[in-house]
Chain A
Amino acid sequence: MDRTTASQGNPAAGAARGGLFARHGSALLLLAVIVLACAAPFLISNYRIFQLTLAFGYAVALLGLNMLTGYNGQISLGHGAFFAIGAYVTAVLIDKAGMHYALTIPIAGVVCLAVGFLFGLPALRLEGLYLALATFALGLAVPQLLKYKYIEEWTGGVQGIVLIKPNAPFGLPLNPDQWLYFVSLFVMLVMFWAGYNILRGRVGRAMVAIRDHHTAAETMGINTALYKSLTFGVSALYTGVAGALSAIAIQFVAPDSFNIFLSISFLVGVVVGGLASIGGAVFGALFIVFIPNIAEGISKAAPWAIYGVMLILCMYVLPTGVMGLARIGMYRLRARRLRGKRA
């Protein structure tokens, strides 16, 4: 982890001088993107709306993982477990307790917060590869537990649980796909806004300090144990919320939906999007939703071989992810502008 630059992780790097666009450029751009996202469901087919809804869910999960791995330096190969727990909490509450789906989302988040925090406590002693193994074990254990016959009554065992997609409330003129798109978009924006605030403030700086130089952070008075466990918890909360969203969108949960490849996809998404970046989560999510289909389109005989090649090429071209490339581009632009001013 000491190969990452210390300047990564500062999301609020704006220019102090310059005109309206230079000062608020990123905010205006963000606003434009949100407006576009709100208009999209009326312009594209239901199938594409569904794909984007899935991507929003994955983006929240990736932001959660990025907090843990990118900002705090704790590697996790098992975040699929929290995704699964969130999804199942939602499914069981809707199916067995008849709860309204909107209520289940925060509950799923809180349950995962608790589980993540509890997992983070013993994991404090583990570093690097050893932590990777522990999280890998978690990612493998949860699907097994979900199949366990003694809790089959609640979890539906191998058959899983089928859910019904909610209709738009108050008779709004939206079909269920569009309504769910807006729900997911709203949740995603809220989670991202909260994440931005967490990471920009003291907590974020403490997390990055722990990542970059653990001992120095401890010496400076940061309670590393508390922060590390809390980060695990919060990261799990985000992923749990994402799992809840995806369960409602897909209308089905089963142990087979949450195998270890999901956890690995999350890691791939975070790295491709860019470690220690919030925007990267969105790019990563789009990558994991759309690239496998493209790989399949190229070769039906060995789609994963193409996917593997694309992954490797992606890492050559963007070793620090999409956001890493964007950052480098921005630095170069700014440097050129400064040079221009001086001359």
Chain B
Amino acid sequence: MIRRFLAVAVAVVALLTFGAVTQAAKYGPGASDKEIKIGNINPYSGPASAYGVIGRAIGAYFKTINEQGGINGRMINFISYDDGYSPPKAVEQARRLVEQDEVLLIFQSLGTPSNSAIHKYMNAKQVPQLFVATGATKWGDPKNFPWTMGWQPNYQTEGQIYAQYLLKNKPDAKIGILYQNDDYGKDLLKGFHDGLGAAGRKLIVLEQTYEVADPTIDSQMANLKNSGADTFLNITTPKFAAQAIKKSAETGWKPLHLLNNVGASIGSVLVPAGLENAQGLITVAYAKDYADPQWANDPGMLAWKAWMQKYNPEGNLNDASNIYGYNAAQTMVQVLKQCGDDLTRENIMRQAANLKDLELPLLLPGIKINTSPTDFYPIQSEQLARFEGKAWKLFGEVIKVD
């Protein structure tokens, strides 16, 4: 009798233990049965406050997910702090998120200086610094910094695509370049230089820089026109991109105008600059543009618009940052879904490095997100587009740069 009782008891205990072990969820700091704490650092004040829109868009998207039941039953607790685009403040906020709020990971921290400041700290503490919101090339270095990963196509890739386009289509171009004198501008320029190669570099007749604090770039544009350049590589942010387009038209300078992706939004740049002045502009793109008529009836775009109106009504539909944040947040959600019940920091990075052919509704058709333990560049494909009429007409193939 007792022996039978004992046998059953042992069996029951064994079953329960076995069940507990196989069904046990694994949690790192910030994760539990109920919630997943995700940290974020964005510039809500200071010179880059325009990009604070991204943090708000991400917050709104996570709210949507929570209302739909969360991820595997867990609610996302999105904690976002302001760093004012100042590296010391970014360090302070990162420490607050990791040590005080004990978040599981930091997602989409914005700005190269801020991310550079916390780069070593995050890797030393072994906290994921995931899908950082900057296109600097140095974030895809899994060997030395296994806890950091970028998201958007990096600037050097973009520069190389422009270089290759010119070498193929206009090998005798006389190139004039305008670039912002900071890490982003210099990074894109480096990609362009590398893509041209030593021989191609001789095609550059003039390079001009500007600072974000400069009121206008009229002087630089005058110099570029006078240099006799017939090709213009425009590495500027929205305000200066619009000024450059307008000035170029005003002074009657009509070069082959390559406009970088950051300054290519129809609603925020081309409309203020004047659509008639933007004809023939060339850029590379990886995401859909709301103001582009070719996506007016695209189901992904319509869904996004409905989402904006319901969950992010203060956001401006013409602000490309709202599409950017939406795309990035969807990537994060995919990683979390793939994690299942193993919500440790190691698994977050493992799943982030395990995205295979992920397509998002607002990425251009043919652009897929791919990562692997040796490839920490999620989006590496872009497509050239030319502005005709009111839209960016895609042409050529989807280019994937390694």
Q: Is the CB of B116 within 8 A of A252?
A: yes
- Rounded to whole Å, the gap between the CB of A263 and the closest CB of chain B is 13
Is B298 engaged at the interface, CB distance under 8 Å to the other chain? no
Q: Is the CB of A251 within 8 A of B46?
A: no
- Which residues on B sit within 8 Å (CB–CB) of A246? 88
Is B33 engaged at the interface, CB distance under 8 Å to the other chain? no
Is A95 engaged at the interface, CB distance under 8 Å to the other chain? no
Q: Is the CB of A162 within 8 A of B116?
A: yes
Compute how far the CA of A140 lies from the CA of B56 in the bound complex, rounded to whole angstroms: 31
Q: Is the CB of B95 within 8 A of A304?
A: no
Q: Is the CB of A257 within 8 A of B99?
A: no
Of the candidate stretches A47-55, A221-229, A321-329, A335-343, the one touching chain B is A47-55
Q: Is the CB of A257 within 8 A of B121?
A: no
Is B66 engaged at the interface, CB distance under 8 Å to the other chain? no
Given A54-B88, A251-B121, also A296-B113 (CB < 8 A):
no
Compute how far the CA of A147 lies from the CA of B89 in the bound complex, rounded to whole angstroms: 20
- Which residues on B sit within 8 Å (CB–CB) of A4? none
Is B91 engaged at the interface, CB distance under 8 Å to the other chain? yes
With CB as the reference atom, state the residue of chain A lying closest to B211. Answer: A144
Compute how far the CA of A45 lies from the CA of B96 in the bound complex, rounded to whole angstroms: 10
Compute how far the CA of A147 lies from the CA of B80 in the bound complex, rounded to whole angstroms: 30
Query: Would you list which residues of chain A between 66 and 95 have a CB under 8 Å from chain B?
Result: none
With CB as the reference atom, state the residue of chain A lying closest to B314. Answer: A301
- Rounded to whole Å, the gap between the CB of A310 and the closest CB of chain B is 13
Compute how far the CA of A47 lies from the CA of B119 in the bound complex, rounded to whole angstroms: 17
Contact partner of A254 (CB less than 8 A), chosen from B46, B56, B113, is B113
Query: Would you list which residues of chain B between 79 and 123 have a CB under 8 Å from chain A?
Result: 80-82, 84-89, 91-92, 95-96, 99-100, 112-113, 116-117, 119-121
Compute how far the CA of A45 lies from the CA of B99 in the bound complex, rounded to whole angstroms: 8
A contact patch SS? helix
Is A279 engaged at the interface, CB distance under 8 Å to the other chain? no
- Rounded to whole Å, the gap between the CB of B213 and the closest CB of chain A is 8
- Rounded to whole Å, the gap between the CB of B122 and the closest CB of chain A is 12
Is A250 engaged at the interface, CB distance under 8 Å to the other chain? yes
- Which residues on A sit within 8 Å (CB–CB) of B183? 158-159
B contact patch SS? helix
Is B374 engaged at the interface, CB distance under 8 Å to the other chain? no
| Chain B window 44-64, contacts with chain A (Cβ cutoff 8 Å), 1 for yes, 0 for no | 111100000000100000000
Q: Which of B56, B88, B96 has the most CB of A within 10 A?
A: B88
- Which residues on B sit within 8 Å (CB–CB) of A296? 44-45, 81-82
- Rounded to whole Å, the gap between the CB of A149 and the closest CB of chain B is 9
Is A261 engaged at the interface, CB distance under 8 Å to the other chain? yes
Query: Would you list which residues of chain B between 183 and 203 have a CB under 8 Å from chain A?
Result: 183, 186
Is B218 engaged at the interface, CB distance under 8 Å to the other chain? no
- Which residues on A sit within 8 Å (CB–CB) of B96? 47
- Rounded to whole Å, the gap between the CB of A253 and the closest CB of chain B is 8
Given A47-B100, A250-B88, also A159-B121 (CB < 8 A):
no
Q: Is the CB of A254 within 8 A of B117?
A: yes
Compute how far the CA of A257 lies from the CA of B87 in the bound complex, rounded to whole angstroms: 6
- Which residues on A sit within 8 Å (CB–CB) of B112? 159
| Chain B window 295-333, contacts with chain A (Cβ cutoff 8 Å), 1 for yes, 0 for no | 000000000000000000010000000000000000000
Q: Is the CB of B87 within 8 A of A254?
A: yes
Is B181 engaged at the interface, CB distance under 8 Å to the other chain? yes
Q: Is the CB of A304 within 8 A of B45?
A: yes
Contact partner of B44 (CB less than 8 A), chosen from A46, A140, A162, A300, is A300
| Chain B window 2-14, contacts with chain A (Cβ cutoff 8 Å), 1 for yes, 0 for no | 0000000000000
Given A46-B95, A160-B113, A250-B91, also A257-B186 (CB < 8 A):
no
| Chain A window 156-199, contacts with chain B (Cβ cutoff 8 Å), 1 for yes, 0 for no | 01111010100000000000000000000000000000000000
- Which residues on B sit within 8 Å (CB–CB) of A164? 120
| Chain A window 243-269, contacts with chain B (Cβ cutoff 8 Å), 1 for yes, 0 for no | 000100011101011010100000000
Q: Is the CB of B92 within 8 A of A256?
A: no
Is A106 engaged at the interface, CB distance under 8 Å to the other chain? no
- Which residues on B sit within 8 Å (CB–CB) of A301? 44, 314
Is B375 engaged at the interface, CB distance under 8 Å to the other chain? no
Compute how far the CA of A320 lies from the CA of B213 in the bound complex, rounded to whole angstroms: 33
Given A144-B211, A159-B116, also A252-B95 (CB < 8 A):
no
Is B276 engaged at the interface, CB distance under 8 Å to the other chain? no
Contact partner of A303 (CB less than 8 A), chosen from B44, B87, B91, B95, is B44
Is B182 engaged at the interface, CB distance under 8 Å to the other chain? yes
Q: Is the CB of B88 within 8 A of A257?
A: yes
Q: Is the CB of B45 within 8 A of A303?
A: yes
With CB as the reference atom, state the residue of chain B lying closest to A257. Answer: B87
With CB as the reference atom, state the residue of chain A lying closest to B99. Answer: A47
- Which residues on B sit within 8 Å (CB–CB) of A252? 87-88, 91, 116-117
- Which residues on B sit within 8 Å (CB–CB) of A157? 186
- Which residues on A sit within 8 Å (CB–CB) of B80? 300
Compute how far the CA of A303 lies from the CA of B49 in the bound complex, rounded to whole angstroms: 10
- Which residues on B sit within 8 Å (CB–CB) of A292? 45, 82, 84, 89
Compute how far the CA of A169 lies from the CA of B283 in the bound complex, rounded to whole angstroms: 55
- Rounded to whole Å, the gap between the CB of A81 and the closest CB of chain B is 15
Q: Is the CB of A250 within 8 A of B87?
A: yes
- Which residues on B sit within 8 Å (CB–CB) of A256? 85-87, 113, 182
With CB as the reference atom, state the residue of chain B lying closest to A87. Answer: B88
Compute how far the CA of A46 lies from the CA of B113 in the bound complex, rounded to whole angstroms: 23
- Rounded to whole Å, the gap between the CB of B91 and the closest CB of chain A is 5
Compute how far the CA of A149 lies from the CA of B80 in the bound complex, rounded to whole angstroms: 35
With CB as the reference atom, state the residue of chain A lying closest to B97. Answer: A47
- Rounded to whole Å, the gap between the CB of A269 and the closest CB of chain B is 15
Compute how far the CA of A257 lies from the CA of B114 in the bound complex, rounded to whole angstroms: 9
With CB as the reference atom, state the residue of chain B lying closest to A296. Answer: B82
Contact partner of B82 (CB less than 8 A), chosen from A147, A158, A300, is A300
Given A251-B121, A256-B113, A300-B82, also A261-B46 (CB < 8 A):
yes
- Rounded to whole Å, the gap between the CB of A115 and the closest CB of chain B is 22
- Which residues on B sit within 8 Å (CB–CB) of A250? 87-88, 91, 117
Compute how far the CA of A8 lies from the CA of B143 in the bound complex, rounded to whole angstroms: 59
- Which residues on A sit within 8 Å (CB–CB) of B92? 50-51, 54
6 contacts between A and B (CB under 8 A): A47-B96, A47-B100, A147-B182, A158-B183, A254-B117, A259-B86
The 8 closest A-B pairs by CB, nearest first: A256-B113, A252-B117, A47-B99, A304-B45, A158-B183, A257-B87, A296-B82, A47-B95
Knowing that A157-B186, A158-B183, A296-B44 touch, tell me 19 more A-B residue pairs with CB under 8 angstroms: A45-B99, A47-B99, A54-B88, A140-B213, A158-B182, A159-B112, A162-B119, A250-B87, A251-B120, A254-B116, A256-B85, A256-B86, A261-B84, A300-B44, A300-B80, A300-B82, A303-B44, A304-B45, A304-B46
User: Which B residues contact A (CB, under 8 angstroms)?
Assistant: 44-47, 56, 80-82, 84-89, 91-92, 95-96, 99-100, 112-113, 116-117, 119-121, 181-183, 186, 211, 213, 314
